């Protein structure tokens, strides 16, 4: 049987798992049919930049023609000037005017890719083992799905096209320089490789810094999310100062990594500018000398001045683009890390539950641990007969919740068997297995939606009448009808007009509407006041009647009325029996009960 892997750790931002070439190939592959549109966009970019590199040649022809005409005392050739001016205008129109069309296509491609990745992340988070969320910070996962996704799409939209376009322009300009006058081109042949080497060196250094910056942002997002979602607890325990200190530290870490990465990457632009300007000055000096000695025409020199000026733009933009590309690729790497997380193994169910489920549960020699080599349960065995109420008690950390997690197959056991009506739980699909259970947890969960939608979450096909009937069963219809829009009132877990007790009543109504054969209650009334508890006790008893019920119990009333009590300690079952039987034994349960009774 597959063991649960609990070795995942949050990304520190220091370890590089994917090379940039692998990331780029994967991004291109994941574009799907948009790959052809992407290629077409860059072909258009290449053509437009080639038009720009051809423009100075037309200028050269016009200047040389005018120089020759002036020298011969012949002022004519207006048709020649007109034709070349039209050609020049067309070249610049194509060279510059295509950017808008290309940008629109790139935006559609990048947003389509981001949409696809977001869908994959949503599917991935529903497919990873439960322990993934136990071992990864929520804020870090959130940062990958939002901030990193935005960085990646921005890199494609604003940087990828610029990077390719300026690279094509730079190559085209260099080629035309050699075609026009190879002696002047040698100036840039020396300066450009030096420029690219320095930029490459800076890029290599800053790559690690950008990954650390993204990881620091993930930790900062986690802290903001944690503080906001638990702001009431923070205030109740006057932890504002402590949380402020922690936030300041994380904020300082992000500030430090951001400034360091941007500071180092910022060197590429001024270095590029210095080398470009030095090259341009050298071009003017050497070009002037060549003209004086008759080795260079005025038109050729004019074209070279255009080319020299054109070199500076792509070099500057390439430097800036490389920084943005690094941020984008680092973000894509973090997205791929999430998408490549190991999923729960594929299921191959061989059996199905009977149509009339009785609800017998049997643990047989179950062994389990959260970490390899550190077993928590060694040999857990017990049986819950159909319709029986089983209370699971014991000190904190005894393994009560773990027992329920194994029953629901949130974690896989190491060895042994769990049976439902005599059928091995591992011969069933998880969907069918979990469909047999209804859960009401101590911590309420209200999702963003209407009251009706929250109740119907237990049975998505439920009608409005079904929802109203479930609400009446647990006697929460009285406060629902007082809400501004009744059952259509919009709720959220973090911003709701409902009290904790009222939220708990809704979650109980959710269990009622699902009509399960087996119930799991994590002391569902523990957060409800006495009056509310009295209102739902009768409804809960009706709900539990005829159903096998597991209760993680804290209150004496619940424990005393259970058909069977399982006392757990250090992950194992120590005592099993009824309330009176366990008291008569005078063991651990009796000690705990006396402590609870005062």
SS3 per-residue string spanning 423-457: EEHHHCCHHHHHHCEEEECCCCCCCCEEHHHHHHC
For the chain, the farthest-separated pair of C-alpha atoms sits apart, in whole angstroms, at 127
pLDDT value for 6:
38
Q: Quick one: tokens of 215?
A: 């990881």
pLDDT value for 426:
92
> Residue 494 CA to chain centroid, in angstroms?
21
- Structural domains of the chain, ranges and CATH numbers in brackets: 20-339 (1.20.1560.10), 361-597 (3.40.50.300)
128 versus 312: the higher-pLDDT residue is: 128
SS3 594: helix
Is residue 494 scored above 70 in pLDDT? no
Dist. CA 322–CA 163, nearest whole Å? 8
Is residue 319 scored above 70 in pLDDT? no
b/e for 23-46, b at 16 or more Cβ within 10 A?
A: beebbeebbeebeeebeebbebbb
Q: Quick one: tokens of 100?
A: 């808008």
Judged by phi (left if over 0) then psi (alpha if -120 to 50, else beta), residue 238 lies in left
Dist. CA 242–CA 578, nearest whole Å? 46
Q: Which of 106-110, 320-324, 360-364, 372-376 has the highest mean pLDDT?
A: 360-364
pLDDT value for 577:
92
- State the helix-helix crossing angle for 78-125 and 161-180, rounded to 10 degrees: 150
553 versus 572: the higher-pLDDT residue is: 572
**Among residues 188, 164, 216, which one has the least CA distance to residue 330?**
216
Contact 543, 519 (CB under 8 A): yes
The neighbouring-strand residues paired with 438 are 519
- Angstrom CA distances, 502 to 168, 232, 458, 524, stand at 65, 18, 17, 12
Contact 382, 576 (CB under 8 A): yes
pLDDT (tens digit per residue) in 224-255: 777 766 665 666 656 777 778 888 888 888 88
Contact 249, 283 (CB under 8 A): no
Q: Quick one: tokens of 499?
A: 């009290």
Least confident among 31-35, 143-147, 330-334, 530-534: 530-534
Least confident among 23-37, 83-97, 288-302, 388-402: 288-302
pLDDT value for 12:
42
Q: Which of 246-250, 512-516, 564-568 has the highest mean pLDDT?
A: 564-568
Is residue 425 scored above 90 in pLDDT? yes
Residue 240: CB atoms within 10 Å:
12
Dist. CA 598–CA 593, nearest whole Å? 9
Dist. CA 95–CA 257, nearest whole Å? 39
Q: What are phi and psi of 367, to 5 degrees?
A: -125, 135
Contact 334, 144 (CB under 8 A): yes
Q: How far apart are the first and last CA of the chain?
A: 45
Least confident among 36-50, 248-262, 334-348: 248-262
**Among residues 12, 5, 240, which one has the least CA distance to residue 140?**
12
Contact 567, 400 (CB under 8 A): no
Contact 170, 52 (CB under 8 A): no
Task: Starting at the earlier edge strand, list the strands of the sheet with 415-420.
Answer: 377-384, 361-368, 415-420, 423-424
pLDDT value for 320:
66
The neighbouring-strand residues paired with 390 are 550, 564
Is residue 16 scored above 60 in pLDDT? no
pLDDT value for 7:
37
**Among residues 419, 339, 343, which one has the least CA distance to residue 130?**
343
Contact 227, 140 (CB under 8 A): no
pLDDT (tens digit per residue) in 344-367: 887 888 899 988 889 999 999 999
Task: Starting at the earlier edge strand, list the strands of the sheet with 389-393.
Answer: 437-440, 518-521, 548-552, 389-393, 564-569, 572-577
Is residue 142 scored above 60 in pLDDT? yes
Is residue 265 scored above 90 in pLDDT? no
Contact 11, 213 (CB under 8 A): no
Average pLDDT, the chain: 81
The neighbouring-strand residues paired with 409 are none
Torsion over CA of 437, 439, 445 and 446, rounded to 10 degrees?
60
Burial class (CB in 10 A: 0-12, 13-18, 19+), 59: middle
Contact 516, 547 (CB under 8 A): yes
Judged by phi (left if over 0) then psi (alpha if -120 to 50, else beta), residue 191 lies in alpha
pLDDT value for 173:
84
Stretch 477-482: mean pLDDT, rounded?
88
What residue has token string 């994941």? 30
Is residue 1 scored above 50 in pLDDT? no
Judged by phi (left if over 0) then psi (alpha if -120 to 50, else beta), residue 421 lies in left
Stretch 535-558: mean pLDDT, rounded?
76
Least confident among 44-48, 78-82, 202-206: 202-206
């Amino acid at each position: 049987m597959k063991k649960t892997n609990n070795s995942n750790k949050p990304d520190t931002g220091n370890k590089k798992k994917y090379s940039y070439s692998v990331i780029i190939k994967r991004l291109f592959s994941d574009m799907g049919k948009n790959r052809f549109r992407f290629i077409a966009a860059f072909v258009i970019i290449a053509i437009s930049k080639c038009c720009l590199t051809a423009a100075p040649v037309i200028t050269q022809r016009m200047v040389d023609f005018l120089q020759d005409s002036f020298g011969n005392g012949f002022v004519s050739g207006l048709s020649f000037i007109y034709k070349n001016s039209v050609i020049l205008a067309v070249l610049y129109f194509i060279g510059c005017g295509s950017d808008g069309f290309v940008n629109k296509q790139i935006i559609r491609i990048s947003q389509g890719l981001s949409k696809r990745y977001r869908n994959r992340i949503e599917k991935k988070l529903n497919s990873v083992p439960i322990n993934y969320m136990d071992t990864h910070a929520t804020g870090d996962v959130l940062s990958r799905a939002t901030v990193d996704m935005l960085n990646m799409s921005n890199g494609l939209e604003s940087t990828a096209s610029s990077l390719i376009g300026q690279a094509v322009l730079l190559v085209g300009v260099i080629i035309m320089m050699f075609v026009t006058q190879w002696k002047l081109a040698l100036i840039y042949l020396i300066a450009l490789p030096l420029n690219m080497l320095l930029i490459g060196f800076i890029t290599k250094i800053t790559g690690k810094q950008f990954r650390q910056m993204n990881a620091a942002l993930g930790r900062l997002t986690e802290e903001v999310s944690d503080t906001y979602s638990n702001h009431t607890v923070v205030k109740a325990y006057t932890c504002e100062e402590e949380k402020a200190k922690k936030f300041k530290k994380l904020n300082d870490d992000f500030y430090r990594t951001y400034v360091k990465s941007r500071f180092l990457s910022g060197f590429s632009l001024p270095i590029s500018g210095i080398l470009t300007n030095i090259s341009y000055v050298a071009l003017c000096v050497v070009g002037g000398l060549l003209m004086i000695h008759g080795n260079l025409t005025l038109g050729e020199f004019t074209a070279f001045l255009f080319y020299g000026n054109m070199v500076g733009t792509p070099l500057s933009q390439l430097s800036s683009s490389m920084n943005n590309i690094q941020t984008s690729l680092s973000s894509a790497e973090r997205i791929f890390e999430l998408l490549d997380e190991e999923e729960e193994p594929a299921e191959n169910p061989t059996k199905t539950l009977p149509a009339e489920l009785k609800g017998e549960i049997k643990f047989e020699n179950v062994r389990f641990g959260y970490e390899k080599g550190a077993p928590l349960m060694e040999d857990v065995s017990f049986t819950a007969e159909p319709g029986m109420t089983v209370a699971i008690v014991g000190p904190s950390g005894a393994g009560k919740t773990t027992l329920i997690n194994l029953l629901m197959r949130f974690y896989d056991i190491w060895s042994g068997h769990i049976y439902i009506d005599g059928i091995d739980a591992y011969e069933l699909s998880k969907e069918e297995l979990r469909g047999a259970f209804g859960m009401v947890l101590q911590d309420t969960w209200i999702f963003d939606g209407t009251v009706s939608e929250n109740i119907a979450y237990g049975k998505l096909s439920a009608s409005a009448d079904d929802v109203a009937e479930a609400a009446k069963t647990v006697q929460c219809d009285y406060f629902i009808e007082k809400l501004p829009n009744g059952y259509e009132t919009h709720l959220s877990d973090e911003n709701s007009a409902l009290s904790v007790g009222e939220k708990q009543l809704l979650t109980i109504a959710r269990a009622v509407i699902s009509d399960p054969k087996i119930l799991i209650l994590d002391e569902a009334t523990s957060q409800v006041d006495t009056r509310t508890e009295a209102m739902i006790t009768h409804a809960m008893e009706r709900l539990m009647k005829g159903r096998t019920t597991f209760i993680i119990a804290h209150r004496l009333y619940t424990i005393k009325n259970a058909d069977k009590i399982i006392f757990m300690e250090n992950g194992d079952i120590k005592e099993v029996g009824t309330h009176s039987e366990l008291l008569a034994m005078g063991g651990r349960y009796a000690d705990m009960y006396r402590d609870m009774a005062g």
